[in-house]
Each structure stands twice: as C-alpha cells, then as structure tokens.
Amino acid sequence: MKRFHNKVAIVTGAGGGIGSPIARRLASEGALVVVTDVNEEAAGVVVQGIEAEGGNATVIAADISNKDSCIALVEKAFGLNGLIDVLVNNAGINRRGNLLSLSDEDWDISFTVNLDSMSHLCRAALPHMIAGGGGAIVNTASQWGLYPAPNHIAYNTTKAAVAAFTQNLARLRTGQDSRERRLPRRNSYADARSRCQALGAHDRRPRQNGSVRSHRKA
C-alpha cells in the first residue's frame, strides 16, 4: 500500500514552481491532491499530468491573499472526502526592493501572501485534522529568512517569520498526531521530495468506500 493511500493533501501554489512537483509526488504516493493556485488554468495542467500518470487530483482555484478565500478552500477540500490529512503551504511571492525602494503595497502583499495565508489556512484546517485523528502541515520557508539576500527585504522578512510561525505552531498541543515542518527552499525539488517521503504515516481512519476517487472542478 502506498504511504499516502486514502489521504487528502492540499498544496497551495501548485500550478508551477516547487508546488507542482510536490503535488505530483504526493499523488504518486496515493494521495488525493487538491491542486490550488490563483491561476486555475495552470493548476488544471498539473492535474491533467497527475491523472495521466494514474494519480488522483482536483483543482480548487483560490486567491490566498483573501482570508475568506482561504477558508473556502479548506472547506471545499474537506467536502471531497470528509478529511484533510496534509496541508502544504507553498504559495509565495517575492517583491524586490530594499527598505527605501520597496513600496508600502509590495510590503503589505508580501506579508499577506507569504505569512497571513498560512495563519488562515492552518486555522481552518487544524480543526478538521484534530477531529480526524491527526495530520501534517508543511510550510515553505527559505534560507534567505536566515541569510538575507540584498534587495529582498520583504521576502527575507516574511520567510524568517514563516520559520518562527512554524516553530510556534509545532508547540500547539492538540493531543493528536499532528506534525508541522518548515521546508527551506534550498535545493528545492530534492527537499520537497524528501519531505513528502517523510510525511507518510499509517492510516488511522477507515474510509467509507475504502478508496479515494478523483474529483475535477466542473
């Protein structure tokens, strides 16, 4: 049995970049993957690739810069099979500039997308994970959060905050089997693959039909 058999995984920013190989790997390990991106067309291409390889995936387009959209995403994903086992907070943006050159708008949107969305999505997903017996959360940070690159003050700062957020989240005591991991962007594909491998756990709950079905947005 594959390690993610009968598990539901949400991957944000999965229409390209690091997110698409994470989504493909989870699907190859048996998960029903919710491929989420603001670009619905790009997310659909990823789903088509997953299905061509024999995996199960669905598109849920979402603008994670909006709190209500984050909550709706989680509820739609939960409605597929009544479970959320994995949440990969991968979506992010990089608006270049130093403190003097970066606009207020670029600073604000960097925090909204890179950090606030994680809070909204985790708050929405955790009750479902706790009720279901456990789960795993992966937050994509960056080595630039620890070793800042020039002219990327907003990105560097938000990714440092992601690391702190994840460490605090890991201290949340729920009484359930929940794991939170910070994924640095160094050697991103290899790290993403190894983290996906590490997330596997025995299935704690039976499914009504004993299988995961593929769902596509109409």
Residues 6+ away with beta carbon under 8 Å from 216: 47, 58, 59
* Residue 107, token pair as written in the block: 């600073």
Question: Distance between CA atoms of 87 and 190, rounded to whole angstroms?
Answer: 19
> Which residue in the list 155, 169, 182, 199 is annotated as catalytic?
155
Q: Is 155 noted as a catalytic residue in this protein? A: yes
Are the beta carbons of 37 and 110 closer than 8 angstroms?
no
- Go through 122-135 and write b for each residue having 16 or more CB atoms within 10 A of its CB, e for each that does not: bebbbebbbebebb
> Which residues carry out catalysis?
155
